[in-house]
Each structure stands twice: as structure tokens, then as C-alpha cells.
Structure 1
Amino acid sequence: MKKLINSVDTVLAESLAGFTAAHADIVAADPEGRFVRRAAVTPGKVALISGGGSGHEPLHAGFVGRGMLDAACPGQVFTSPTPDQMIAAAEAVESGAGVLFIVKNYEGDVMNFDMAREMLDRPVATVLTNDDVAVETSSYSTGRRGVAGTMIVEKIVGAAAEEGRDLAALQALGERVNGRTRSMGVALTSCTVPAAGKPTFALGEGEMEMGVGIHGEPGRRRVPLASADAIAAEMVEAVLGDLADQASGDALLLINGFGGTPLMELYLMYDAVRRRLNGRGVTVARSVVGSYVTSLDMAGCSVTLSMLDPETVALWDAPVHTAALRWGA
């Protein structure tokens, strides 16, 4: 295993120290390392908090800032954060309007965020993201997994929170966006968790994992390596088929890298996917290409399609200023 680390035991703490120092104008670290929060809390606004296992950077800490999250709770690599982290984050950033948890559908995350919600003495609601169409259940989840669509939910709901919408309205919006968002991924290599020191799974030189999860969970099937056009065709059909009657009109297309894929290949995949959407009743109105919800050093990518309407287009376009996503004034 070749990684730029000092020790397996300190990799997360040292990474977070570097992250918060590099973006000190946007974020601040909890002295005990339990969460990352905005450098300045906005009074009277619903606090948006997310989190999950590390190894998916920039998700979630990279999306803390104006227009997105108020705080993020990082667990150890591919391991859920604990309820005390969420409680501490909520107490640090909630300012009277309540807390909205945005939670990816993995059993550990769901259980721990639920425990935190029950223990907090303030209004708390939850949005569960489950955009992955590859499998209905996996080794990490009951029901569909929450993957790259989580970023889209965080951005759109974050913009609405900046407008001052209340907790119930934000929860309803998050559920609506999640319900109109679908993703599917493909892996060309495994990822290597530092503590394990070896690849999570083995793929032959001529193999790929279609429908892989962001922790390296098995997908739909292991198949021979195919062309980018063939991979794009299968993922588009899976996503559109699952959206069914919703797959019409304007959409946001996200081509997300898993951490080990060059941008040149991600843009090539964007071209392949967009060509397949032409003539299918879907207009790509907004686009994002890059590595936003990663799986350490895995090579591969995911395709996410989120159907838009005038409200969600405006919220997507609203200003955002985080370490990993920023535009507008």
C-alpha cells in the first residue's frame, strides 16, 4: 500500500487539520474533532447537518459553507460518525429554527442520526437520501444506498435554508429532490482502506463492477470491461428506467469520479451520457463534472440525473461558497 500518510491511526485527524487550515475563511473545526462547522453561524436559520464515514471527500465537510451545510460530522474511514458527534454539531450551529439532518441510507448512519435526533432537545427533522438504482439492498444498507445525489440535495436544500424557509418546508423539499434523483456507478478498480492495507475487492485486468457502491460494495454484476459508450448506455438505461414517468424535461447531470479517475475520462463519460439522453425527452439544463462523492482511490464514476423544475433550478443556481462547490456572489 502506497499512501501519503504518517499513521493509520492519525490519518483522519491530520487530514481534517489540513482541511480546516486551508479553508479557515469558510470553516472551523471542533476542538475535539467531532465536527466541522461554518466559520460564522447565521442566526435564525434552520441548521443543515450531514456526515458519514470519511473516504468520500469532499463529501461532506467540503460542502460546509454559505448555501449548503452548517456542519458535517466525519466518521472514521467508511464508518458512521457517532451520535455524540451529531449532538455536538447541532448544539454548536442551531440558532433557534431547528435542525435538518441529511442522511445517506446506510444502516450505521441512519441508526446514529436517529439516536441523535431522539436525544436532542430541539426541533429536528431528517431527509434520507437513497438515489442509487443499482441494488435494492447491500452489505451496508436496507433499501437503496445514498450516493452522489446527496450532494444535489444538500445544495438545493441549502439554498432554500439561506432564504429562511422553515424546517418542515426544507424537509419536504429535500424529500422531493431525492425522489427525483437517481444514480448508478461503475468501478474499474477497487479502493484501499488505509487500515486494511490492501484492496477491498479484486478486479481482474479485463473486469469491471457495474453498479458498485461507494464503499466498494458489490453492484449488479461483475462483467468484462466495455467501452465508455457501452458503460454509459447501461447506466443511462438504468437511471431513466427507474425514473420512469419522471424522466422528462430539464435535468441536472452529474458525472462523479470515485477518486482515481482523471478528469479527461470523466468529461468523456459526460459526452457519452449526454449523447444518450438526446432524444429521450430529457434536456440537460445544468451540468457538474468532477470528483465530489469519492471512494478513496477507486477508479470509476457514477452517473446522477436529477429532474428539475423552475424552483429547483433557481435554488441550484443560487450562490454557494464552500471548499468544494462555489459560484455566485
Structure 2
Amino acid sequence: MKKFINDPGDVVADALLGVAAAHPQLRVDHDHKIILRGDSPRPGKVGIISGGGSGHEPLHGGFVGVGMLDAACAGEVFTSPVPEPILTATKLVDGGAGVLHVVKNYTGDVMNFEMAAELAAAETGVDVASVVTDDDVAVQDSTWTAGRRGVGVTVLLEKIAGAAAEEGRSLTEVADVARRVNEQGRSMGVALTSCTVPAAGRPTFDLGPDDFELGVGIHGEPGRERRPMASAAEIAEMMVEPILADLPFRTGDAVIALVNGLGGTPLLELYIMFHEVDRILSAHGISIARSLVGNFITSLDMAGSSVTLLKADAEFLKLWDAPVNTPALRWGV
């Protein structure tokens, strides 16, 4: 294992020291491993927090800032944060309008966020709403989940719900927008290699030099099947067609399209994949209204890609285009 680390047990703590140094507009609670907006709490604004295991950067800490999250809780690598930091973050971002928890559908995340929400209500009376993302069409019930996994839609949801909160909408309204995003979005990923968790020091799973994993999870969970390596065009078909069939998407739809890298794939290849996705969608009479290409929800050093498509109505596009200023996403400011 060759990685830019010191002690494998300190990778999250050391990374948060780097976040604090690189982004002085944010606040970092190192004791609880929380990244916060520097101006939180904002009186009268719904606070939005998310979090999960580290190793998926820039998710979630890279999306803390104006127009997205108010706080992100960082667990150890591929391990959910425990309830205490989630509770602390909930209290720190509460500006009197309530707090929205954005939770990816993994058993530990769901359980710990639920517990933190109950404690927040009991201890402080803060109004907490939760939205669970479950957009992965690859498998139903996985190693880490009951039901579908929460993946790329989480990024789009945090942007759109964050813009709604920035407008001053109520907790009910922000949560409703977030749920609609989850309902209207679908994702699928593939892995060309495994990832290596620093504490383990070896690949999470074995994948032959001539194979890829179709429908892989962001922790290296098994997908639909293992297949012989194919062209970008063929792999794009294997990802996009199941997404289109699942909702289903229809001729005339416009979408926000995310082609995401899993950490070890060059941007050159991601743009090749985006071209293939655009080609497939065009053949179905579906237009791309907005696009995002790059590493946004990763799996450490895994080579691979995922595709997320969100049906885009006028409200979603307005909120998508609203200003955002975070370490990983910035426009309109």
C-alpha cells in the first residue's frame, strides 16, 4: 500500500486538519469531527446536515458552505459517525427554523441519524426532519443496506435542498423538495478496480485484470454481476439503460446528469463516459439540461464511474442554478 498518510488510524483526523488549513471560511470541530459553515447558525434559516463514513470525499465535507450544507459529520473510513457528533452538529446549526438530516441509506447511517434526531428533540426541542436517499438501481438489499443504497443523488439533493433553505423556505418545504429529488433520481456505478482502506492495507475485494464489477457499491459492495472488460460505449449502455427503465424516464424528459468518478479514474475518461451517456440519452429523446462531471462521491482510490440522472423540472433547475460556494462546488458567487 502506497498512500500519503502518517498513521493509518489518524487519516480522518489528519485530513480534517488539512480541511481547516485550506478552508478558513469553515469551522472544524476536531473533537467531534464536524465541518461547519463559518456563519452557522443562521437565524431563521433551516439548517442542513449530512455525513457518513470518510473515504467518499468530497462528499460530505466538501459541500459545506453557502447554498448547500451547514455541517457535515465525518465518521472513520467507511464507518458511520456515531450519534453524539450528529447531535452536536444538529444543535450547532439550529437557527430556530429546524434542521434537515440528509442520510444515505446505509444501516449504520440511518440508525445513528435517527437516534441523534430523537435526542435533539428530547434535549432541545429542535424540529428535525430526515430524508433518506436510496437511488442506486443496481441491487435491492446489499451488504450494508436494507433496500437500495444512497449514492449520487445525494450530491444533487444537497445542492437543491441547500438552495431551497437559502431562500428561507420552511423545514417542511425544504424536506419536501429533498424527497422529490430522491424520488426523481436514479444511479448506477461500475468498478474497474477495488479500493484499499488504509487500516486494512490491502484491496477490499479481488477483481481480475480483465473484469469489471457492474453495480458496485461505494464501499466495494458487490454489484449485479462481474463481467469481462468492455468499451466505454458498452459499459455506458449497461449503466444508463437500467436507470432509464427504473423510473421510468420518457421521451421529452430533461435531466440533470452527473457522471461521477470513484476516486481513481482520470477526468479524461469521465468525459468519454459523459459523451456516451449523452449519446444514449439523445437516442431516447432525453435532453441534458445541466451537467456535472468529476469526482463528487468517491470510494477512496477505486477506478470506476457512476451515472446519476435526475428528472429536471423548472423548480429543480432554478434551485440548481442558485449560487453555491463550497470547497467542491462553486458558481454564481
Bin of the TM-score, shorter chain as denominator length: over 0.9
Aligned to 2:31: 32
Q: AA paired with 1:34?
A: K
Once the two structures are superposed, residues 48-101 of structure 1 have per-residue CA deviations (whole angstroms, 9 ceiling, x without a partner) of 000000000000000000000000000000000010011100111111001100
- CA pair 119-248 structure 1, distance change in 2 beyond 3 A: farther
Is 1:243 matched up with 2:242? no
Q: AA paired with 1:30?
A: D
SS in structure 1 at match of 2:247: helix
Once the two structures are superposed, residues 96-135 of structure 1 have per-residue CA deviations (whole angstroms, 9 ceiling, x without a partner) of 0011000000000000000001111310000110110000
Is 1:175 matched up with 2:179? yes
Once the two structures are superposed, residues 258-302 of structure 1 have per-residue CA deviations (whole angstroms, 9 ceiling, x without a partner) of 000000000000001100110313110101000000000000000
Aligned to 1:97: 97
Does the CA-based 8 Å contact 2:45-2:168 persist in structure 1?
yes
Q: AA paired with 1:76?
A: E
Provide the C-alpha distance between the structure 2 equivalents of 1:114 and 1:154, rounded to a whole number of angstroms: 19
What's the Cα RMSD here? 0.9
SS in structure 2 at match of 1:286: strand
Does the CA-based 8 Å contact 2:16-2:33 persist in structure 1?
no
Does the CA-based 8 Å contact 1:56-1:294 persist in structure 2?
yes
Counterpart of 2:146 (choices 138, 142, 146) is: 142
Is 1:187 matched up with 2:187? no
* Residues 51-70 of structure 1: pairs in structure 2 closer than 5 A: 51-70=51-70
Counterpart of 2:284 (choices 254, 276, 280) is: 280
Is 1:87 matched up with 2:91? no
Provide the C-alpha distance between the structure 1 equivalents of 2:136 and 2:109, rounded to a whole number of angstroms: 16
Counterpart of 2:270 (choices 266, 271, 296) is: 266
Provide the C-alpha distance between the structure 1 equivalents of 2:268 and 2:39, rounded to a whole number of angstroms: 37
Aligned to 1:218: 222
Q: AA paired with 2:93?
A: V
Provide the C-alpha distance between the structure 2 equivalents of 1:247 and 1:194, rounded to a whole number of angstroms: 45
SS in structure 2 at match of 1:278: helix
SS in structure 1 at match of 2:309: strand
Q: Measure how far apart 1:137 and its partner are.
A: 0.8
Does the CA-based 8 Å contact 1:34-1:89 persist in structure 2?
no
Q: Measure how far apart 1:247 and its partner are.
A: 6.7
Does the CA-based 8 Å contact 1:247-1:307 persist in structure 2?
no
Does the CA-based 8 Å contact 1:49-1:100 persist in structure 2?
yes
Q: Which runs of 5+ in 1 are unaligned?
A: none
Q: Measure how far apart 1:246 and its partner are.
A: 5.8
Provide the C-alpha distance between the structure 2 equivalents of 1:109 and 1:267, rounded to a whole number of angstroms: 32
Extract structure 1 runs of 4+ deviating beyond 2 A: 245-248
Q: AA paired with 1:35?
A: I
Aligned to 1:44: 44
Once the two structures are superposed, residues 162-188 of structure 1 have per-residue CA deviations (whole angstroms, 9 ceiling, x without a partner) of 000001111111110110000000000
Provide the C-alpha distance between the structure 1 equivalents of 2:240 and 2:92, rounded to a whole number of angstroms: 42
Does the CA-based 8 Å contact 1:46-1:164 persist in structure 2?
yes
Does the CA-based 8 Å contact 2:133-2:154 persist in structure 1?
yes
Q: AA paired with 1:22?
A: A
Q: AA paired with 1:69?
A: L
- CA pair 287-245 structure 1, distance change in 2 beyond 3 A: closer
Does the CA-based 8 Å contact 1:129-1:149 persist in structure 2?
yes
Does the CA-based 8 Å contact 1:206-1:224 persist in structure 2?
yes
Q: Measure how far apart 1:34 and its partner are.
A: 2.9
Q: Which runs of 5+ in 2 are unaligned?
A: none
Provide the C-alpha distance between the structure 1 equivalents of 2:7 and 2:251, rounded to a whole number of angstroms: 47
Provide the C-alpha distance between the structure 2 equivalents of 1:35 and 1:182, rounded to a whole number of angstroms: 29
Is 1:289 matched up with 2:293? yes
Provide the C-alpha distance between the structure 1 equivalents of 2:153 and 2:289, rounded to a whole number of angstroms: 16
Q: How high is the TM-score relative to the length of structure 2?
A: 0.97
Aligned to 1:324: 328
Q: How high is the TM-score relative to the length of structure 1?
A: 0.98
Aligned to 2:308: 304
Provide the C-alpha distance between the structure 2 equivalents of 1:89 and 1:119, rounded to a whole number of angstroms: 12
Q: AA paired with 2:222?
A: P
Q: Equivalent pairs: percent with the same residue?
A: 58
Provide the C-alpha distance between the structure 1 equivalents of 2:166 and 2:232, rounded to a whole number of angstroms: 39
Does the CA-based 8 Å contact 1:153-1:178 persist in structure 2?
yes
